[in-house]
Amino acid sequence: MTVIPATRQEPARRDRRAGVVATGLSVALYAASVPSGLGSDFDGYIWAARLLDHQFLLGALGCTLSILGAVTLLRGWRLGIGLAVALSLGVLWTGWGALGAAFADSHDERLSGVENPDRTLRTRVLLSGFVDPIYEIQVEQTDRGLLNRRFTLGCIDGDALSIDQLRWDDGALIVDSSAGAVAVTVDEGGRPGYIRPFPDSSLDEGSVGPVRLYPC
Report CA dihedral (102, 107, 108, 111) to the nearest 10 degrees.
Answer: 170
The domains of the chain are located at 6-102, 106-197
Rounded Cα distance between 203 and 181, Å, is 8
DSSP of 153-172, one letter per residue? Answer: EEEEETTT--EEEEEEETTE
Note if the pTM is more than 0.75: no
**pLDDT value of position 85:** 83
pLDDT, one tens digit for every residue, the chain (216 residues): 454 555 555 666 777 887 788 888 888 888 777 766 555 566 788 888 887 777 777 878 888 888 888 888 878 778 888 888 888 887 887 777 666 666 666 777 888 989 999 899 999 998 877 667 888 899 999 988 889 999 888 888 877 778 888 999 888 888 888 877 888 888 877 777 766 655 544 444 434 455 677 777
Which residues share a beta bridge with 154?
137
pLDDT tens for 188-213 read 777 777 666 555 444 444 344 556 77
pLDDT tens for 130-153 read 667 888 899 999 988 889 999 888
What is the strand order of the sheet 134-141 is part of?
44-45, 149-157, 134-141, 121-128, 106-107
